[in-house]
Each structure stands twice: as structure tokens, then as C-alpha cells.
């Protein structure tokens, strides 16, 4: 079964050591989805597994998906397809006619994914829902996964992350890109949990309207000011935070999602956001492959 690619065993929780936490009686742990698989890591595996199951149901021979030149989803799909014995096609955004490549795209090719490059406009058109349906009709033996694994199967898969959250947790934190993981987890966490989403892009407030209708009545909040300059952007303070975090906690973070989230969480602690005796579980959604593009800045490798 392709869905048995990765055993469904409990990921570790790494609890942080920090004097500020002791002073405020806070418990903060990272649920280490980054350790699920070296490449198909983090939340991407949870999104992919229900999609792989669906691909298997329709007896697809090929997976087709979309992503940018640094996309964690693209490379995770490439690796999963190879492991499952499926062909893979990746449509890459905004690299039309360019000879450049990235470590992510090289890895995709290494897993046997065929890459097709599209201009930003052509890419946008291809990813529109109505065009996806047309694409589905043309490629009958192909299972199409939308950009970022953002579909119902992706939501269903990420809901499975919630069962690894200890019953004593009061807050759960997760980084937000498309919001798929946030929605999936919201549907499965205990009712009294406070679910915090940390958006990775500038102007993330627009996601509130997109996400709200898909949420059950739980206590949730998006923190939209921890983007450090925008999606995929980094700066010396963020890098210093990540290097420090690694030195003290021994945990590598990625610079696009989890580094920004943890940096903002430490600011929330200083701001007194968390009441005494809070028990926060932060989801380490992986993404460490993306650090290859800034490895010269980092004091650790993934
Ligand atoms: C893709 C990704 C996210 C965002 O997940 P969404 O479901 O798109 O919100 C968060 N963290 C990491 C490391 C990712 O690769």
C-alpha cells in the first residue's frame, strides 16, 4: 500500500529548555513532524498520504502537481511518487525559459519527477479550479494534487496530526501557508484547545476570511505579523534566532515557516501572551530541505 510508505507511529515531542519558560511556568514542546521522513517531512506527508490513497483508488499511474522553485510540497510529492512506484510531473511557477535551477528542483529531478516550466500567468491559469477539472479529463491516468496539497484529502490527512497532541496541552501553534494544515487540525483538536496560526507571508490577514468558514467553533487566532518581511524572505535577526535556537535546543528550524513561527512565539512569551501554566505544543512542520538555499548563513545542516 502506498499509504504505508511511512509508519504511523508517534512523532517525538521536544520540550524547550529556557529560563524564561521556567519563570513563567510555561511548558513548550515541538511535535517533531520534521523527523517523519528526510524528504517527505512534516505536514507534507500528512497531506500527501490521503492524496496517495485517492490516486490508488482511481488506479492512477502518475501524480501531477504544482509549486515554486523552492517548494517543499513539490519535492515531497516527487519523493512520495518514486517510493510509491508512480510517475510524477511537476509544473513549476515563474521559471519559464530560464536555465537556472535550485537544490529543490535538482532533488525533484533526482526522484525522477518530470518538470515543466510555466510563466507566472500560465501557471496561474493552470491552477484555477475550472482548469484543473479540464486537466483531469485530459489525463485520465493522472491524479492531480493542487498547489501545496491544498484540497479535501490534504485537510483530511492533516487532521491526523491532532492525535499526537498531548491531552494536557492548552495551546497549539502551527505555521500557515495555504491554511490547509490549520483547517485540518482545527477539525480534530480538542474543543478547549486554543489554536494559533502563524502566517508566513505579508498581508496574511486575508486568510482569515478564507479559513473562517471551514472551521468548527473552536478558539482560534491567526498571528499575521511574524512574516519577517514576506514569504521566503529572511533577515539577519531571523537567521540569528534560528542559529541560537539550534545551539540551545538542538532543534533545526526552516527559515520559511517554523523559524518565523518560533521567533514570534518567543516575542509572545515576552509580551505575556501565555497565561501561567500554559502548555503549548508547536507543530514542527518540517521544510528543512528549503534551508539548502541559505545554507551559508546557518550554523546547522538538516
Ligand atoms: C507547506 C508548509 C507549511 C504550510 O502548510 P499549509 O497547510 O499550506 O498552511 C508550514 N510549514 C512548513 C514547513 C511547510 O513546508
Q: For 206-261, how does the pLDDT look when each residue is reduced to its tens digit (9 = 90+)?
A: 999 999 999 999 999 999 999 999 999 999 999 999 999 999 999 999 999 999 99
Rg (CA), the chain: 19
Burial of 36 (0-12, 13-18, 19+ CB in 10 A): buried
| Residues 144, 233: Cα–Cα separation, whole Å | 29
Top mutation candidate among 160, 287, 292, 302 for ligand 1, by most atoms within 8 Å of CB: 287
Lowest mean pLDDT among 56-65, 126-135, 250-259: 126-135
286 CB near ligand 1 (under 6 Å): yes
Share of the chain above pLDDT 70, in %: 97
CA atoms within 13 A on the CB side of 33: 27
| Residues 171, 132: Cα–Cα separation, whole Å | 37
Lowest mean pLDDT among 139-148, 190-199, 262-271: 139-148
Residue-level pLDDT at 139: 75
CA of 23 to the centre of ligand 1 (A): 32
Q: Whose CA is nearest to atom 3 of ligand 1?
A: 177
* Assigned C-alpha cell, 27: 511548558
Residue given cell 497565561 in the structure block: 275
Residue-level pLDDT at 1: 58
181 CB near ligand 1 (under 6 Å): yes
Task: Report whether 48 contacts 176 (CB < 8 A).
Answer: no
Residue-level pLDDT at 6: 84
226 CB near ligand 1 (under 6 Å): no
Q: Which helix (H) or strand (E) holds 89?
A: strand 87-93
**pLDDT grade, residue 2 (50/70/90)?**
low
151 CB near ligand 1 (under 6 Å): no
For residue 165, give the nearest of 51, 277, 30 by alpha carbon.
Answer: 30
Mean pLDDT of 30-51: 94
**pLDDT grade, residue 97 (50/70/90)?**
low
* Assigned C-alpha cell, 167: 491531552
146 CB near ligand 1 (under 6 Å): no
Q: Which helix (H) or strand (E) holds 183?
A: helix 180-186
The whole-chain average pLDDT of the chain stands at 93
pTM (predicted TM-score): 0.95
| Residues 166, 185: Cα–Cα separation, whole Å | 14
DSSP states of 191-223 as a string? TTPEEEEEE-STTTTHHHHHHGGG--S-EEEEE
CA of 186 to the centre of ligand 1 (A): 15
* Assigned C-alpha cell, 294: 541559505
Q: Whose CA is nearest to atom 15 of ligand 1?
A: 287
76 CB near ligand 1 (under 6 Å): no
Q: Of ligand 1's atoms, which has the minimum distance to the CA of residue 175?
A: 10
Amino acid at each position: 500500500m502506498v499509504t504505508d510508505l511511512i509508519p504511523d507511529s508517534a512523532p517525538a515531542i521536544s520540550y524547550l529548555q529556557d529560563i524564561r519558560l521556567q519563570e513563567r511556568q510555561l511548558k513548550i514542546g515541538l511535535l517533531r513532524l520534521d523527523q517523519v521522513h528526510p524528504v517527505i517531512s512534516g505536514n507534507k506527508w500528512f497531506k500527501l498520504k490521503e492524496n496517495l490513497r485517492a490516486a490508488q483508488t482511481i488506479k492512477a499511474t502518475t501524480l501531477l502537481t504544482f509549486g515554486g522553485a523552492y517548494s517543499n510540497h513539490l519535492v515531497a510529492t516527487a519523493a512520495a511518487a518514486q517510493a510509491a512506484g508512480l510517475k510524477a510531473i511537476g509544473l513549476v511557477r515563474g521559471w519559464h525559459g530560464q536555465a537556472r535551477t535550485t537544490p529543490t528542483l535538482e532533488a525533484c529531478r533526482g526522484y525522477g519527477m518530470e518538470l515543466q516550466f510555466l510563466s507566472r500567468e500560465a501557471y496561474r491559469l493552470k491552477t484555477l479550479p475550472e482548469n484543473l477539472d479540464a486537466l483531469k479529463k485530459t489525463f485520465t491516468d493522472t491524479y492531480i494534487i493542487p498547489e501545496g496539497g491544498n484540497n479535501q484529502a490534504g485537510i483530511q490527512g492533516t487532521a491526523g496530526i491532532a492525535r499526537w497532541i498531548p491531552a494536557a496541552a492548552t495551546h497549539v501553534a502551527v505555521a500557515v501557508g495555504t491554511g490547509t494544515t490549520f483547517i485540518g487540525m482545527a477539525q480534530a483538536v480538542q474543543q478547549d484547545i486554543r489554536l494559533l496560526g502563524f502566517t508566513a507571508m505579508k498581508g496574511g490577514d486575508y486568510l482569515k476570511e478564507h479559513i473562517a468558514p471551514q472551521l468548527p467553533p473552536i478558539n482560534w487566532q491567526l498571528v499575521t505579523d511574524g512574516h519577517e518581511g514576506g514569504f521566503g524572505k529572511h533577515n539577519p535577526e531571523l537567521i540569528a534566532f534560528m542559529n541560537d535556537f539550534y545551539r540551545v535546543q538542538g532543534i533545526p528550524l526552516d527559515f520559511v515557516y517554523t523559524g518565523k513561527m518560533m521567533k514570534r512565539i518567543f516575542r509572545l512569551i515576552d509580551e505575556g501572551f501565555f497565561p501561567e501554566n500554559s502548555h503549548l505544543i508547536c507543530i514542527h512542520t518540517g521544510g528543512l530541505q528549503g534551508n539548502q538555499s541559505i545554507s551559508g548563513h546557518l550554523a546547522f545542516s538538516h
